[in-house]
Structure 1
């Protein structure tokens, strides 16, 4: 226990310092965590005595990461996506793996265990990093552009392919009908069992405890652990079980709340996951230079060879195809998991793990600059195509992020918010389709749903809840609940949080006193409504009206 606490402290302190340095240098924080692991590991100061303890804890981060990814997946939206996304998404990974196997095999890398380095390099280099891409695009407000939507869609499809890889990975060393059939059977049982349990057990259970925020989160994490344990019992990856557990809850009204409350815990253990990978980084050698260069080059070039042609063939513009390919040109953190499991199953040697770690670091660094300068890079590419006789692209307007989210966000429902909704329904019912209500009362949300008003179950005191409700897309944010009814927060804090998330939105907040109104305006409220003054004016008008009659 003494060494565990010492090692954990060394890992967390190093991750904090390196993460801050990466943030100040405007580099991906994941790079900082990898550097932190290398610094406190055998390659650096050798401060961690028991790497296995850190790696065991870090697996919790991976399980929670897959659980949250499952929560955030919308399979119905994916199925209803356009032809461009479906063709590019489902075509990219198989084609990239095929090209990778052919290319790496031609360079002398094996495709069959125990020397399946070529196969694992092809798999690892065909997946892109959800964590890096979404963070970089969100910082540039490009998630809702056409290239951004296609990028995120391809990432979701890649996650689905990763599930298949995890399911079949134990059988890759000795492909045979029996193990493959068992993997298919186990995956089917896991998905079907998760759906049935959510519908008949977990769903009703959440319905009975939804008024207790702590119990909802604890039950969700327990459900995640049960999914991971069930997958392990079926001979599948625990990460796959966590992903299926998240998918099973993705359509429930508790998705937003569970996601927001799980994120801090996930981020802590996920930090340890990347630090543990850094601990395993081998010392840089000349022998590593060639495979790392090959993996990096294949990752970048394969995106343009396997994404852009599909998008152009299905009618996307050349600019959209170029930028979507550029966005996805990095190695995924999921690739590290697949390679680590490959070492565990003795399909490949441990040296390949170092190659993929270095390739991830290099491509993440390149992506941080490439995504930042995507438009100038596209202009340079288009000019080059014209100069060599391939023709310039038709002029495409640079698309800004478009909002297909709700324009009006009402945070919390009490008497005033109900009166607001009733008045909108009476005066302008079409506006109700643009309203999103965030509240912690499931009965209220069900009632509003019957009236055609969208609702999200979540805790207003959590900034993550507001982020995952996509508050940044709202044009108007309404806060009506008085401080005495808010739990864990107050109107002043909510106004400041909303202003940080949605800097251009109009924030309308209610105030009980003139002093509170001044404070809310200082915190960022656009309009402050003094509730008691309005009531006083109304009462005075009624008194004068009655006296005059």
Structure 2
């Protein structure tokens, strides 16, 4: 069937018709696989890879030239680095110079030295071993950036250090390609003038881009903005990204590096947010297409024919690389948790390895068979990375929060025990304090405790769902307990525990939603309030007034809604859930009739 679909596509193309089948297949594969994998907790990257494998030559056979798709989809990586560049002001990038040329250079150098040994141990020539190991050192920018973004770690210090290493690796592709040409048979005889000319062209391309970014780009966008054509602004954004990438490529540099530099040069522009919004949809689609292409390129025939080499090389490369990354991280004083996460996240080879291996094959360092095997090894490592991240997240010990400057609850005697000092607890405390009631406040978030201390609040550390903590916080002597923690399950446990241990002390509780409110009543709460109920009622009343209703009419409507809600809640609390639902549907029908 798949072969027939491809032949029909070719026939349609031959008759001049535009063939939508490949686009539909790609979109359908992404739409089906990615949500399923994310729901299963496997991440979007693995979903794209699996979808690519399913529709590729070794799956349903809709596509036979995965490399052509990868070449087009590499623009996703280019656009991704442009967006990253927009977040990196020149001053911030300058502040990262130590991490880029210190941490990044140290990791790349040591990793190259370690990974060369894999090829040598398998009996390959020195030059081929060097190229093979060096290609694996170049981490997948697409995978790592995607993981960082999904985890919200891009702006954190640990994310910034990973970005610094990736930037150094992107810059390293240029001297590595030059070194490949030098190591080629007869490459050492190449004239020094040719190599110097190549370096000069590269530096000239960078200089042209910097000058254009400094003096031309912002005035150009300002001029285009005056005409107010949104589609022209989008076209201009893509023109800047692709033009910068093409300029860097013409200068012998990385396209991704050109896009990154363009982003940095526009990072202080007043159009930065507009540019990011214009580029983002293309970036997401093309990056997804890149991962689909990588999945298609997984050549199962080559893996089967060279399964011994692949089975040895993939774990050998990944283990050695992880060991170097961990050692460098710890050597430079990174916390153990960060070092472990970094080594798992950056354990794979990357898309720049394809460029390096193709160049080495062209100049005779690698044979076609070696090239295919190394490409399969890189793709296998890319496929394994999301799985390793999942294992890391499940097995790695969770970091204990720092309790510096935080006191544990002990011997408290406030008239009111307030459990939880988040956005609800802070507001609840204000009328009580205004009337002079003494409060004992406990919270489980050390940072929230420190922040409250900066505003003059004394908050103690303690988990209110533990009986010993409730005793230490003075629950037995309190006149009132208020459970206002952010965690709905914790609030339910607090209510049940306090009701059992301190039956004479009423417990007021914050409910997350209606079902939680019912659970709190069942657990013994003296009073519960859904956290959004009163604000939503106030918003609804204001909406009626703004639409022209008289205040008296608006109040009557709100009283009626409160009354119906109370009736339904009473029925559900008493166990008449079906009756409550019938009443809800009856009211809905009446509202529609009105």
TM-score by length of 1: 0.60
CA contact (8 A) 2:206 2:248 kept: no
1:131 deviates by 4.0
1:517 deviates by 9.8
Distance 1:171 1:518, change over 3 A: farther
Q: Distance in 1 between matches of 2:545 and 2:361?
A: 61
Corresponding position: 1:256 with 2:284: no
Q: Which residue in the other structure is 1:122 paired with? A: 133
Q: Distance in 1 between matches of 2:264 and 2:258?
A: 10
Q: Which residue in the other structure is 1:355 paired with? A: 377
CA contact (8 A) 2:99 2:164 kept: no
Distance 1:374 1:366, change over 3 A: same
Q: Which residue in the other structure is 1:466 paired with? A: none
Deviation per CA, 1:77-113: give whole Å up to 9, x if none.
Answer: 243249677632221012211221244223223343x
CA contact (8 A) 1:330 1:360 kept: yes
Q: Distance in 2 between matches of 1:324 and 1:517?
A: 55
Give the alignment of 1:253-402 within 5 angstroms: 253-283=270-300, 284-285=303-304, 287-305=306-324, 307-336=325-354, 338-339=356-357, 348=366, 349=368, 350-351=371-372, 352-375=374-397, 397=402
1:354 deviates by 1.7
Q: Which residue in the other structure is 1:110 paired with? A: 125
Is the partner of 1:259 in helix, strand or coil? Answer: helix
Corresponding position: 1:226 with 2:243: yes
Corresponding position: 1:150 with 2:150: no
Q: C-alpha root-mean-square deviation of aligned residues, in Å?
A: 4.1
Deviation per CA, 1:276-321: give whole Å up to 9, x if none.
Answer: 233222114162353354233322432332x444444444444544
1:42 deviates by 1.9
Distance 1:103 1:297, change over 3 A: closer
1:218 deviates by 1.5
CA contact (8 A) 1:217 1:261 kept: yes
1:219 deviates by 1.0
Distance 1:128 1:49, change over 3 A: closer
Distance 1:369 1:398, change over 3 A: farther
1:15 deviates by 2.8
Give the alignment of 1:125-144 within 5 angstroms: 125-140=136-151
1:45 deviates by 1.7
Q: Which residue in the other structure is 1:17 paired with? A: 32
Corresponding position: 1:215 with 2:232: yes
Q: Which residue in the other structure is 2:220 paired with? A: 205
Q: Which residue in the other structure is 2:492 paired with? A: none
5+ long unaligned stretches in structure 2: 1-12, 405-534, 548-594
Give the alignment of 1:431-450 within 5 angstroms: none
Q: Distance in 1 between matches of 2:77 and 2:209?
A: 19
Q: Which has the higher contact order (CA 8 A, sep 6+)?
A: 1
Is the partner of 2:397 in helix, strand or coil? Answer: helix
CA contact (8 A) 1:128 1:332 kept: yes
Is the partner of 2:137 in helix, strand or coil? Answer: coil
Q: Distance in 2 between matches of 1:165 and 1:235?
A: 11
Is the partner of 1:125 in helix, strand or coil? Answer: helix
CA contact (8 A) 1:84 1:311 kept: no
Deviation per CA, 1:463-494: give whole Å up to 9, x if none.
Answer: xxxxxxxxxxxxxxxxxxxxxxxxxxxxxxxx
Q: Distance in 1 between matches of 2:255 and 2:97?
A: 32
CA contact (8 A) 1:61 1:273 kept: yes
Q: Which residue in the other structure is 2:171 paired with? A: 160
Q: Based on CA coordinates, which of the two structures has the bigger radius of gyration?
A: 2
Give the alignment of 1:22-61 within 5 angstroms: 22-48=37-63, 54-55=69-70, 57-61=72-76
Deviation per CA, 1:238-277: give whole Å up to 9, x if none.
Answer: 4444344334333433333212321211221222222223
Distance 1:5 1:145, change over 3 A: closer
CA contact (8 A) 1:84 1:315 kept: no
Q: Distance in 1 between matches of 2:24 and 2:134?
A: 34
1:5 deviates by 2.7
Is the partner of 1:285 in helix, strand or coil? Answer: helix
Distance 1:203 1:103, change over 3 A: same
Q: Which stretch shifts more, 177-186 or 335-344?
A: 335-344
Q: Distance in 2 between matches of 1:367 and 1:398?
A: 28
5+ long unaligned stretches in structure 1: 379-394, 400-506, 520-549
Give the alignment of 1:518-537 within 5 angstroms: none
Q: Distance in 1 between matches of 2:56 and 2:326?
A: 40
Q: Distance in 1 between matches of 2:254 and 2:377?
A: 23
